[in-house]
Amino acid sequence: MLDNISEKQMHRVRWLLIISWLLLIALMFYDPISPWLTEPHNTFSPFHKDPNVCIKLQGICIQEQPHSIAGQVFWAAIVPLGIIILLVFGHELWRRICPLSFVSQLPRALGIQRKQQRIDPHTGKVSYRLAKVPKNSWLARNYLYLQFSLLYLGICARILFVNTVGWVLALFLLLSIGLAILVGYLYDGKTWCNYFCPMAPVQKVYGEPRGLFASTAHESANNTITQSMCRIIDADGKEQSACVACQTPCIDIDAERTYWDGIKKPDRKLLYYGYIGLVFSFYFYYYLYAGNWDYYFSGAWTHEENLLSTLFNPGFYIFDTPIPIPKLVAVPLTLGFFTLASYWLGLKLEKAYKVYLRNKNRDISPEIIQHQLFTFCTFFVFNLFFVWGGRPTLRLMPLSVQFLFNTFVVLVSTLWLYRTWGRSPALYSRESLANRLRRQLSRLNLDVAHFLEGQSLEKLNPNEVYVLAKILPGFTREKRIQAYKGVLKESLEEGYVNSSSSLEVLQQMRMELDMSDRDHQQILTELGVENPSLFDPNKQRTREDLARLQGFRNRIKGLVKPKRRRTAKGLGRELLQVVKKEKSMADVFNEERQAIKSLSLEYSVTSEERAEILAELEETTDLTNQARQKSGK
């Protein structure tokens, strides 16, 4: 849905949001305007403070003074809005507008990223590439634990230091911006978003497997640029992939594939089960600390005076009795206890659910069981969050607005639950393969309009695609084999299957197309002869690497026209001269050696990959020249 919004428009949105965010941060340092809105005599303002209302903190009425509302706007309006965006529109909108994601890409835009030295083991030549997190490193294996820990520490810091002191909150946000830029300098791609950002676990909970109105990448007609994957704009205003395969699988390319790939990993259980306790304990701590709910719902916690001086005051106030545990200890203790308790309870409920299904003789795969539990967790924690989230601001609105907001929260979460509950890896695989078959049917130039009754081939659901393949009179056995071969080749190129797993994964498709296992083996043999690299065990094929190499290939082919001066942005003019036989491909490669080197660095392309792509491009150009000669042009 929103993945089709042009990058040029989203670029403007990102600039608008980052400027607005920086303005809000500036107001946290110095705000001469909004304190006037909180003056007791400004009864027209919903933020005005009534001096006759007593808000108790540990049995003592707080003397509220006129204050800046910048902190309250950030915590009680912007943060809840972000949660709504994730559930309703999915990660693909959030990742394209997130200010921290935007600033993390500034070093790349400025061309000042750190480079790593690489020595070719065969030739001994030294080359450089932009740094990426190694696939088998500790960080690549444990990034979700790190991000969840940072989220926990960030929430503790928020309660203890950040919530109410404007300049401290501003410094906290500026520190986040600085860290995002630093990671963007140290590593290529969206490394900040994928490996370090504390909001990434929240994004996973609410944004996977897909948002309520998010697009489905595995059913996309455009298989080149999907969802929120990295992209650039060429000189013609067209979008091209800028993926550098910084993480595999990548949520920006296909969120649901990432979800199913990691659903059985133990870090997902900690995330989904523990996150409920983390959310609950954050809000419940205000009650344990103040001894009432008025303190939280009034929004007094967003502008409490002398917050830093309370760090060693009693951290609990229960039954009108202060508990002599310093707040500095009470906060991490409370959040840690409820997070671990929620995780433990989730494991117990999971075990009980499996026993229940076994007693009912319901044979459900472990992936489906995990999915159903995770789906329920997201539904539950979303509604739990909005019991408190945004309420200090919402309660200032008319009752009708509050009622409409509550209705909206329940409605969208229920629709999301209905849309998500029935998902499964098998259904995802069937839809993905049907989309591949759909593309192959469109390439065979078959007369399908008569059977579609005004519909387009792209609008057919998976079952309709298979039915169409069965009834098409022109879809002979030869064409079925050709279509299946195309699907198998595409699946191998993307790393969706390998030579051993392809037989099982594509079994249902063979049944639909009336093909045998022997046909499959014969087609595999043909593909091995035509393209031996598909079965090279030393080449680990993934959709991310395919996108990376395709982006490099497109840039080399000159899909982006050169500007006033020659840059690494395209070789279109030179390639046109090659087609006209005004120069050879070797001449072009020699003249544009620096441009190709720059592109290789940008896309982390190895010398072997570069040589293979350049040879392929030269061969394609020769074939084009031969065709032009035969046609007499």
**360 and 476 share a domain?**
no
DSSP, res 264: T
Partners of 128 in the β-ladder? 117
**549 and 525 share a domain?**
no
pLDDT at 589: 67
Residue that has been written with the tokens 């001096």 in this structure: 51
d(CA 94, CA 100): 11
**471 and 574 share a domain?**
no
Chain CA centroid to CA 340, Å: 26
DSSP, res 565: S
Show the tokens assigned to 125.
Answer: 């030549």
Inform me whether the pLDDT recorded for 7 exceeds 80.
Answer: yes
How much of the chain, in percent, has pLDDT values that exceed 70? 91
- Confidence class of residue 561 from pLDDT cuts 50, 70 and 90? very low
- Residues 349-399 have pLDDT tens digits of 999 999 999 999 998 999 999 999 999 999 999 999 999 988 888 888 899
d(CA 311, CA 191): 35
**408 and 490 share a domain?**
no
pLDDT at 96: 93
Is 184 domain-assigned?
Answer: no
- Residues 251-274 have pLDDT tens digits of 999 999 999 999 999 999 999 999
Poorest-confidence range of 78-92, 181-195, 602-616?
Answer: 602-616
Show the tokens assigned to 253.
Answer: 């390319």
- Confidence class of residue 563 from pLDDT cuts 50, 70 and 90? very low
Show the tokens assigned to 246.
Answer: 């910084």
Element spanning 325, H or E = strand 321-326
d(CA 619, CA 616): 5
- Confidence class of residue 123 from pLDDT cuts 50, 70 and 90? low
Is 163 domain-assigned?
Answer: yes
Count of positions (residues) in the chain: 633
Inform me whether the pLDDT recorded for 621 exceeds 70.
Answer: no
Inform me whether the pLDDT recorded for 338 exceeds 90.
Answer: yes
In angstroms, what CA-CA distances link 128 with 76, 113, 234, 412?
A: 46, 12, 25, 49
Final residue of a domain: which of 485, 500, 535? 535
- Confidence class of residue 533 from pLDDT cuts 50, 70 and 90? confident
What average pLDDT score do residues 25-42 get?
Answer: 90
Quickly count: other Cβ atoms within 10 Å of residue 150's Cβ.
16
Final residue of a domain: which of 514, 535, 556? 535
Domains: count for the chain? 3
d(CA 170, CA 422): 43
**411 and 547 share a domain?**
no
**279 and 366 share a domain?**
yes
Inform me whether the pLDDT recorded for 64 exceeds 60.
Answer: yes
Is 176 domain-assigned?
Answer: no
pLDDT at 593: 77
Is 296 domain-assigned?
Answer: yes
pTM: 0.90
Show the tokens assigned to 115.
Answer: 């480079």
Inform me whether the pLDDT recorded for 276 exceeds 90.
Answer: yes
- Residues 396-433 have pLDDT tens digits of 889 999 999 999 999 999 999 999 999 999 999 999 99
Is 401 domain-assigned?
Answer: yes
**432 and 402 share a domain?**
no
- Confidence class of residue 613 from pLDDT cuts 50, 70 and 90? confident
Element spanning 55, H or E = none
**284 and 206 share a domain?**
yes
d(CA 178, CA 172): 10
Residue that has been written with the tokens 């076994």 in this structure: 358
Show the tokens assigned to 412.
Answer: 């969208």
Partners of 129 in the β-ladder? 116
49 phi and psi, to 5 degrees?
Answer: -100, 130
What average pLDDT score do residues 237-243 get?
Answer: 85
Inform me whether the pLDDT recorded for 619 exceeds 80.
Answer: no
DSSP 296-324: HHTTGGGS-TTGGGGTTSEEEEETTEEEE
Inform me whether the pLDDT recorded for 165 exceeds 70.
Answer: yes
pLDDT at 564: 39
Q: Which residue has the higher pLDDT, 598 or 106?
A: 106
Poorest-confidence range of 147-156, 375-384, 607-616?
Answer: 607-616
Inform me whether the pLDDT recorded for 608 exceeds 90.
Answer: no
Poorest-confidence range of 113-122, 136-145, 623-632?
Answer: 623-632
Chain CA centroid to CA 416, Å: 18
**566 and 459 share a domain?**
no
Final residue of a domain: which of 535, 570, 594? 535
Poorest-confidence range of 180-194, 219-233, 280-294, 418-432?
Answer: 219-233
- Residues 486-501 have pLDDT tens digits of 999 999 988 888 888 9
d(CA 359, CA 371): 20
Inform me whether the pLDDT recorded for 574 exceeds 60.
Answer: no
**441 and 327 share a domain?**
no
- Confidence class of residue 578 from pLDDT cuts 50, 70 and 90? low
Is 179 domain-assigned?
Answer: no
Is 378 domain-assigned?
Answer: yes
pLDDT at 628: 57
Please list, residue by residue across 228-239, b when 16 or more beta carbons sit within 10 angstroms of its beta carbon and e when fewer do.
bbbbbebeeeee
d(CA 542, CA 420): 26
d(CA 94, CA 324): 42
Is 385 domain-assigned?
Answer: yes
**379 and 500 share a domain?**
no
Vertex 548: Cα angle to 543 and 554 (nearest 5): 120
Poorest-confidence range of 28-32, 218-222, 293-297, 570-574?
Answer: 570-574
**345 and 475 share a domain?**
no
d(CA 84, CA 412): 9
The answer to whether 210 touches 257, Cβ cutoff 8 Å, is no
Range of the domain at 603: 543-631
Show the tokens assigned to 196.
Answer: 């370090």
DSSP, res 254: -
